[in-house]
Structure 1
């Protein structure tokens, strides 16, 4: 656990769009959910299901993708969805980064498959279904914590090693830098409007 940088009173993340959604609509109104509302609820339910603090889950997602889902397409870094679940094949590496082919079996290049197994979900669904992607990301983060601590930490500060491990960075400095950035998001809060509105 790092010392000194994490404030005790964490700033509240203002949600996917940074806007407060009014719940004052009449009960009989049949309005479809806005994408940001669906995504916000996905973070809430996934956090509850897997025992991950919601604000931490959202901060990890923000640091990975700025809450973007890339419309089901693979990002340039090989990840899918707002939780950036990675699936990079040896063939992709051979075409795009030939010098990295020897790393094709690295677990950090197959977090999509791992998360799919943890949630008993089709990997293809995790690429395009934002709700299931967030759920699988929460399961993966909880799994990282369990591998390190034997269970979900009680204090949000104690999730730091799991967040560093979740980064997938094989270098300790890179993993620590990612975790530091996530905790900076927690400390300061973030707000943005995603491409889906």
Structure 2
């Protein structure tokens, strides 16, 4: 007897699969035949419950998902999964593909799945290019890119300068602070007089902030 196998996934444990599960159950999947991965990225080749869902599929069964990106992030991976399903005699049903319900068991569904997978990959590449372009423009304009805030306080820099004055090398003090020697010198200059590099220490800027 053929049956429907459902699969739902979210990339982080803070996200919920409730909506996906509700849609899949409404499509006729029994709760015992619904597999869910929490906190698993679509970029991972192995997803525990997805693997179990595939193992449960038999000839004539259909895997049901809500959207195409539940299968993976790349066109190659998504089409590979579709081909694996076909080789098992199983189908794929996407509840919201191109605004409607698409079943790859039909010729039209199979063609549309291939087209939409390619478009999804293209959209992902375009978004990535936009992000990279935005970061490059902000960096070239000298704007703050955000990231982790500076954790080393001015007081720590002053204390480090006292250690250098006491005989410790600037390189060692900078390492203890978790920063480069060039960064230490820049920070200490802002705060006032600082020890110059001792004999044998050549100050080479590494561009660190």
* Alignment TM-score, normalising by the size of structure 1: 0.27
Structure with bigger RCO (C-alpha 8 Å, 6+ apart):
1
Choose 1 or 2 for highest CA Rg. Answer: 2
Q: Which has the higher helix share?
A: 1
Structure-2-length-normalised TM-score: 0.26
